[in-house]
Amino acid sequence: MVVAVAMGIYLQQQTTATRQESNYENLIILPKTRSLGDVNFIANDGSKFDENRLKGKWTILFFAFTNCPDICPSTLHTLGQVKQELDSKKLWGAFQLAMITVDPERDTIERLNQYVPFYDPSFMGLRGERTYTEAFAKNVGILFFKREQTENGGYDVDHGASLILVDPKGNYAGVIPAPHSKEVISADLAKLAKSALDQGQITTSTQTLSSATSTFKITSAQSKDSVSDIAHSSKLVISDPWIRNAPPNAMALAGYAILRNKSDNDISVVGVRSPMFEMAMIHSTIVKDGVASMKHLDELKIDARSEALLKPMGTHMMLMRPSQALKIGDVVPIELSLRDGTTLSADFVVKTPPEE
Q: Average model confidence (pLDDT) for the chain?
A: 85
pTM: 0.81
Contacts of 263 (CB under 8 A, 6+ apart): 234, 235, 236, 304, 305
What is the rounded average pLDDT of the residues 226-246? 76
Q: How far apart, in whole angstroms, are the C-alpha atoms of residue 167 and residue 43?
A: 19
What is the rounded average pLDDT of the residues 284-302? 87
What b/e string do you get for 71-81 counting C-beta neighbours within 10 Å, with b at 16 or more? bbbbbbbbbbb
Burial class (CB in 10 A: 0-12, 13-18, 19+), 310: buried
Per 3-state DSSP, the chain is made up of helix, strand and coil in percentages (nearest 5) of 25, 35, 40
Is 217's pLDDT higher than 50?
A: no
CA distances from 245 to 111, 115, 130, 202 (A): 17, 12, 29, 36
pLDDT tens sequence across 154-199: 788 889 889 999 999 999 999 999 889 999 999 999 999 988 776 6
* Helix extents (H) in the chain: 2-21, 71-88, 109-115, 130-139, 182-198
Residue 42: φ, ψ to 5°: -110, 130
| Residue 356: half-sphere exposure toward Cβ, Cα within 13 Å | 19
Burial class (CB in 10 A: 0-12, 13-18, 19+), 281: middle
Reduced to 3 states (helix: H, G, I; strand: E, B; else coil), residue 48 is: strand
Element (H, E) at 118: none
What domains are defined for the chain?
A: 2-208 (3.40.30.10), 229-351 (2.60.40.1890)
Residue 36: φ, ψ to 5°: -85, -10
pLDDT tens sequence across 255-267: 999 999 999 999 9
pLDDT tens sequence across 337-350: 999 999 999 999 99
* DSSP states along 276-288: TEEEEEEEEEEEE
Ramachandran bin of 48, using left for φ above 0, alpha for ψ from -120 to 50, beta for the remaining angles = beta
pLDDT at 127: 97
pLDDT band, residue 253 (cuts 50/70/90): very high
Residue 354: φ, ψ to 5°: -65, 155
Residue type, 130: R
Is 212's pLDDT higher than 80?
A: no
pLDDT tens sequence across 76-116: 999 999 999 999 999 999 999 999 999 999 999 999 999 99
